[in-house]
Structure formats: C-alpha cells, structure tokens
C-alpha cells in the first residue's frame, strides 16, 4: 500500500507516546517498569521476581499493568501513576525535525497514550513537541487502556473525529487492531513490541498494520509530500 493512495483523505493524525514519539533505544520506559515493580513489591509484599511477573501478566491480559491492578486489586490509579512516572526525563533530547514533520501534516494532531496526560506533557516538553491540539491519557478514557475498544471510542467522541479520516501511529502492533477496524490508517513505529497476539502465524505482523517505519520523521516527511 503506497503513501499517495493511502493518505490522500487523511487530516487527523493520532500518535501514541512511549516508544513512538521518542526512540525506544532511549529506554525511558525501563525506568517506569522499574518503578512499577517497586510499587507491586511494596503493595503486595512480594519479591522482585514475583512483582515483575505480575507486572507483565497484567500488561499482557489487560493492556496495561495499571488496568490489571485496578481490576484485580482495586489499586488507586492516581497514586500509582504519580509514583511510576516520577522518573528522569533528561534522557529525552529535543526533536526539532520531528516537530517540523508533524507540524507539516495537514489537519489535526492528537496524542493518545496509556499513560496519564501529566506524564505525557513532560515527555512532549522534553522533546519540544509543541505541535499537538490535545493529549488524551488514560484518565480521559475512564482508565480504559489500549487495546480496549472503549479507549479509542472515548477519544473519538471527545475529539469529535471521523476515524475514516484518521491515521494512528503506534509501537505496539496489538494497539492498531481496533483503529484498523474503525477505518483508520495504521502505522507501526519501530520493530513492534513483544506483546501477546502481536504477531500473526510465522512471525508476520498482522494485516491490521498497513505501514511500518523505523524512522517516524522520515515517514512523515514522505506523507507531507503527498
């Protein structure tokens, strides 16, 4: 599927945050995962191995660790989010070329993240990506995380958008299934996280991923030329 035919009628651009608007190699999420494990260890009096297993299991089954903790243990999301996002953002360099490429896209630009909007604001500030109309975090989706359909439906309703005119950029393949079903253009950024059901048989990314790129800035520049 080529860019010219696929993005001609697209004027709504929705971006995931972590490992999408910054390279996964910066390993920012590793800091968050460490704090997740520390939180679970303290809250449930378990060792690091068990806590990490719980973290990954909930992420696999619920979409985020937080969703699992809320569903199975009624954990307060505000306290959790404040703690796990208390990290060092200085590892994120400014991204002026990415900002320019996003700004050049026609229409509206949004962020949809499974993190909270306060955390997203810090990431965007560090990257100097002051190019988005709005940020939709997990609070704005009533704590429904991607890949649950309720998360996308909440953003669509609040932003008042037609999904058939939208493109969704994401690093986790499973989070592109619902956007594809809703009629959005779907773009996988990076190699694809090792999530459950992320890969089709034989290790092939599923058909719900229409485009893939290892360099978001270059890809967006190509769209701007359409």
146 and 77 part of one domain: no
Number of domains in the chain: 2
Of 40-44, 63-67, 170-174, where does mean pLDDT reach its minimum? Answer: 63-67
pLDDT at residue 200 greater than cutoff 70: no
54 and 108 part of one domain: no
Give the mean model confidence (pLDDT) for residues 106-121.
Answer: 96
- Residue of 100, 111, 157 whose CA lies nearest to 134: 111
193 and 171 part of one domain: yes
Q: Please, which pLDDT band fits residue 197 given cuts at 50, 70 and 90?
A: very low
CATH number reported for the structural domain that contains residue 113 in this entry: 3.40.50.1000
47 and 116 part of one domain: no
Asked which of 65, 84, 103 is the last residue of a domain, the reply is: 84
pLDDT at 206: 79
Give the mean model confidence (pLDDT) for residues 201-215.
Answer: 78
Going from the C-alpha of 185 to that of each of 11, 113, 167, the distances in angstroms are 11, 17, 4
Torsion of CA 46, 50, 56, 62, to 10 degrees: -60
| pTM of the full structure | 0.89
Q: Of all residues in the chain, what percent carry a pLDDT higher than 90?
A: 85
pLDDT at 226: 54
130 and 52 part of one domain: no
192 and 216 part of one domain: yes
Work out the mean pLDDT of the chain and round it to a whole number: 91
Q: Of all residues in the chain, what percent carry a pLDDT higher than 70?
A: 91
173 and 97 part of one domain: yes
Show the domain range for 68: 28-84
Distance (Å, rounded) from C-alpha 73 to C-alpha 69?
Answer: 5
pLDDT at 192: 84
pLDDT at residue 100 greater than cutoff 60: yes
pLDDT at 204: 53
110 and 212 part of one domain: yes
Asked which of 84, 111, 131 is the last residue of a domain, the reply is: 84
209 and 102 part of one domain: yes
39 and 123 part of one domain: no
Of 154-163, 175-184, 189-198, where does mean pLDDT reach its minimum? Answer: 189-198
Asked which of 84, 101, 128 is the last residue of a domain, the reply is: 84
76 and 139 part of one domain: no
Q: Is the dihedral of CA 61, 65, 67, 69 positive or negative?
A: positive
pLDDT at 29: 87
106 and 66 part of one domain: no
Q: Please, which pLDDT band fits residue 61 given cuts at 50, 70 and 90?
A: very high
Give the mean model confidence (pLDDT) for residues 112-120.
Answer: 96
pLDDT at 4: 59
């Amino acid at each position: 599927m080529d860019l010219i035919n696929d993005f001609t009628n697209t004027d709504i651009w929705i971006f995931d945050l972590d490992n999408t608007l910054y390279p996964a190699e910066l390993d920012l999420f590793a800091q968050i995962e460490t704090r997740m494990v520390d939180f679970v260890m303290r809250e449930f009096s378990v060792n690091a191995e068990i806590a990490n297993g719980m973290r990954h299991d909930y992420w696999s089954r619920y979409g985020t660790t937080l969703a699992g903790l809320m569903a199975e243990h009624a954990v307060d999301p505000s306290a959790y989010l404040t703690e796990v996002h208390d990290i060092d953002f200085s590892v994120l360099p400014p991204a002026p070329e990415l900002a320019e490429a996003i700004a050049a896209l026609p229409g509206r630009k949004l962020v949809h993240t499974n993190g909270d909007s306060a955390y997203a604001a810090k990431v965007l500030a560090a990257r100097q990506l002051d190019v988005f109309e709005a940020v939709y975090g997990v609070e704005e989706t009533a704590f429904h995380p991607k890949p649950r359909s309720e998360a996308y439906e909440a953003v669509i309703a609040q932003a008042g958008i037609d999904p058939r005119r939208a493109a969704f950029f994401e690093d986790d393949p499973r989070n592109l299934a619902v956007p594809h079903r809703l009629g959005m253009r779907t773009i996988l950024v990076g190699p694809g996280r090792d999530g459950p059901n992320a890969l089709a048989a034989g290790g092939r990314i599923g058909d719900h991923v229409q485009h893939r790129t290892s360099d978001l800035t270059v890809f967006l520049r190509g769209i701007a030329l359409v």
